[in-house]
Structure 1
Amino acid sequence: MVRIATLDDIPTIQLIAHHTWPSTYGGIISEQQIEYMLDLMYSTESLLQQMLKGHQFYLFEANTEKNDASKVLGFASVSNESAGVFKLNKLYIVPSAQKTGAGKALLSAVKDYAIQNGGKQLVLQVNKQNPAIEFYKRQGLSILSENVFELEKGFVMDDYIMGIDL
């Protein structure tokens, strides 16, 4: 089940990010860059600012009787970037729940949100070595361009920009 995340869900989002990033990026970027980027994008202050700026976060929850954070298997966030262009900023599923439909469900919620808010295109950045590229291609997204983004401390993001018309 997909639901809209609230400010109260920030600790859960942080928990999933810290659980998924090492397995997702461990063979791609350094441990130091992973730590830097987790702090940059997932600190409480950063997530609070993202939510207050209008980033819509969604959580995917397992169908369990328990009402706790352990049933949250993934999250996504989307923002309105410009006239008709929405950006999928984040989509992470805990490794044990990948290939279960959780990612598809979150991506569908993001697309629906974009369409309901006048979106004509959904774009995202993905590391060129991230296996999720194949998932995105299966969902109809295609590579639009490639970009190298320079960060502080000499870190870089070597990404594809992918997109789909809505």
Structure 2
Amino acid sequence: MINIRLANVEDLITVERLAREIWPVTYNSIVPPEHLAYMLDLIYNNDRLRDQLLNQHHTFLMVESDGKPVAFAHYSTIEPGVSKLHKIYVHQSTQGQGIGKQLIDYIISDLQSKPYHTLRLNVNRYNKARFFYEKNGFAIIKEEDVDLGNGVFMIDYVMEKKLGQ
């Protein structure tokens, strides 16, 4: 049984652990190992996650399958009416079971109950997850290269889904 719930501060350790298990499999043929390590340390350090949850009022979701954490997501308001899906990752052991779609549906349902009209995300241009997003109604609106420092760039598509469609 799948359970999606709001994550709390104690869950952030699990978010980091899941990211460190999922990212190497997801990005092994896309991102050099040293860049991957740098990105994980930058994006998933506990201080940064805590700040996003507690001070920046980002929403974190935890997904459990039979009580075991298997996925997470993280989104926030970036401008009036627009929310950004910063992170959505499903552990490779449970991919293909509809968990990603359930997470997207959960987030959209939450946003539609508020004054939002768009859900936006970035996806690596070489990540096959792009096709998952397209299947779920997202469209590429532009390309974006994000400088993370130390010569590391995220080479992304920016995708959007208009809510209510």
Tell me which residue corresponds to 1:122. Answer: 119
Tell me which residue corresponds to 1:12. Answer: 14
Match of 1:159 among 137, 156, 160: 156
Moved over 6 A (4+): none
Q: Residue 108 in 1 paired to residue 105 in 2?
A: yes
Q: Residue 146 in 1 paired to residue 146 in 2?
A: no
Superposed CA offset, 1:3-38 (max 9, x none): 110001011101100000001111101111111111
Instruction: Could you tell me which runs of 5 or more consecutive residues in structure 2 were left unpaired when the two chains were aligned.
Output: none
Q: Distance in 2 between matches of 1:9 and 1:83?
A: 28
SS of residue in 2 equivalent to 1:151 = strand
Opposite residue 152 of structure 1, the aligned amino acid is G
SS of residue in 2 equivalent to 1:147 = strand
Superposed CA offset, 1:79-136 (max 9, x none): 0110100000000000011110111111112112222231110000000000101110
User: In 2, are the aligned partners of 1:77 and 1:110 still within 8 Å (CA)?
Assistant: no
Q: Any residues of structure 2 matched to 1:1-166 within 5 Å, and which?
A: 1-52=3-54, 53-64=56-67, 71-166=68-163
User: In 2, are the aligned partners of 1:59 and 1:106 still within 8 Å (CA)?
Assistant: no
Instruction: Could you tell me which runs of 5 or more consecutive residues in structure 1 were left unpaired when the two chains were aligned.
Output: 65-70
Q: Distance in 2 between matches of 1:110 and 1:81?
A: 15
Give the CA RMSD over aligned residues: 0.9
Q: Distance in 1 between matches of 2:158 and 2:145?
A: 10
Q: Percent identity?
A: 35
Opposite residue 41 of structure 2, the aligned amino acid is D
| Number of aligned residue pairs | 160
Opposite residue 74 of structure 1, the aligned amino acid is A
Q: Distance in 1 between matches of 2:10 and 2:147?
A: 32
Which has a greater percent of strand? Answer: 2
Q: Distance in 2 between matches of 1:101 and 1:59?
A: 15
Q: Distance in 2 between matches of 1:41 and 1:117?
A: 28
Q: Distance in 1 between matches of 2:108 and 2:126?
A: 24
Opposite residue 86 of structure 1, the aligned amino acid is S
Q: Distance in 2 between matches of 1:99 and 1:138?
A: 14
SS of residue in 1 equivalent to 2:57 = coil
Q: TM-score, normalised by structure 1?
A: 0.93
